[in-house]
Amino acid sequence: MRTHRLSVVLGSSLIALGLVACGAGSGGSGGNGKSIQIWEGYTADEAKAFAHLVSEYEKQNPGQTVTSLYVDNDDSLTKVLTAVRGGSVPDIAYLYGSWAPNVAQIPQVVTLNSVVKQPSVNWNDFWVGERDVATVNGRVIGIPALVDNLAVVYNKTLFTQAGLQLPGPGWTWPQFVADAKKLTDTAKKQYGTAYVTPGNEDTVWHWEALLWEAGGKILSADNKKAAFDSAAGLRSLTTLASMAVTDHSMYLDPTDSAYANLFNSGKIGMLVTGPWDLSSFPSVDYGVQIMPSFPGSAGGHQTISGPDNWVIFNNGSARTAAAEKFLLWLTAPAQVTYFSLHTGDLPIRASVANATGFYQSMNKALPGVGTFINNLGNVRQARPQIPTYPKISTVLGNMVVSVLLGKSQPAAALASAAQQVNQILANPNP
């Protein structure tokens, strides 16, 4: 699973500690730009495809050497901070997009606004959700490394057995709720749907998609006040509560992993999940459909994405230029196409997604992934790009879990969470 790349647990306090410890820094060890070092967390097919691309780049650029070091993505920011303090930061690091506001505070991070404005880069070819996550207060601090989104994966067999029509592209949340209820069979320990409830960002971003679909916002436009305690917030949270508490049609998964085996065993009818889970369902005749909408809402069938970034660190002008050159090559359409076709990862560029035959090739290799590719067009906004988001996420995660467990009513939970979030925003560094 790739839900781990949504991690926001380090938070602003760790970053602040790192900055205090390292100061402005000297920009690393310098060098002649002939060799650059990259920290990445690829395994299996991704590692193989990435190694091939690095080899191709070196063949096309004699004298240029790219050294790749595996660093577990969950640990990468901690290791980067340690490296910054020690003056041995890599030239490029793969970092979760949810860390972007905190990453932007590291003095050695290179600003890429002028780089992405180059016509050959075609910055607008990257999906809007990617560009939003790579940009902090107007400053571009990363080049997109990965993109994904949430959609609904459903069990066709269970739908047929329940006498239900398969979900269509125009379906709604009332239909989802009704289908989930009919798909539930307590005697068989079969549930209509599931929801991850560890209270982490995986819990949160599933609800945020519903909030946006209902027409709501997480924070005010200036990021100074909570905005989710609204009619849209209530509609979205009540929808989840109706399945978890009223209909008992929702399997609550505090492990953030059991749901996959249950779905593959035919015990769950529908999952809101991402493309990373598709290969985990070999025993299910499944389909994939975009997110439902709320009738009467302008939010439509929005989804949410968790993009990650390639971040460049200043090790002197020569190495910075070499790092920029490599990343622009790596994220150009030809390389993006190769990487997606050999890994199943969604294409980080719209032009690749829309290229003749690409959709068919991806969908043949991994059935259903084509819907996730098309669904990237439904990513219209990103989570708040502020350093305090990790703290806000914790509040929202506790709110959602409390409601789904029946410990709080949606309206009261929203009001309490909004009060806590406003306190965080008013005093970001207590």
User: For residue range 41-99, what is the model confidence (pLDDT) as tens digits?
Assistant: 999 999 999 999 999 999 999 999 999 999 999 999 999 999 999 999 999 999 999 89
Which of 385, 383, 388, 384 lies closest to 427, judged by CA? 388
What whole-number distance in Å separates Cα of residue 216 and Cα of residue 230?
A: 7
Contacts of 315 by beta carbon, 8 Å cutoff, 6+ apart: 27, 28, 29, 30, 31, 89, 91
Q: What pLDDT is stored for residue 68 in this prediction?
A: 96
The CATH number assigned to the domain with range 151-304+388-426 reads 3.40.190.10
* CA 300 centroid distance within chain: 20
> Taking residues 130-137, what's their average pLDDT?
95
Least confident range of 27-36, 322-331, 351-360: 27-36
Q: What pLDDT is stored for residue 4 in this prediction?
A: 41
pLDDT grade for 241, boundaries at 50, 70 and 90: very high
Domain topology for 3-148+306-378: D-Maltodextrin-Binding Protein; domain 2 (3.40.190)
- How many Cβ atoms from other residues are within 10 Å of residue 57's Cβ? 17
pLDDT grade for 34, boundaries at 50, 70 and 90: confident
- At 116, list the tokens: 């992405």
Domain with CATH 3.40.190.10 in the chain: 3-148+306-378, 151-304+388-426
pLDDT > 60? residue 27: no
> Taking residues 301-309, what's their average pLDDT?
95
Q: CA–CA distance from 171 to each of 120, 174, 278, 290, 294 (Å)?
A: 40, 9, 21, 9, 9
Give the chain's mean pLDDT: 92
Q: What pLDDT is stored for residue 428 in this prediction?
A: 83
Q: CA–CA distance from 161 to each of 158, 184, 213, 266, 314 (Å)?
A: 5, 11, 30, 12, 59
How much is the pTM? 0.89
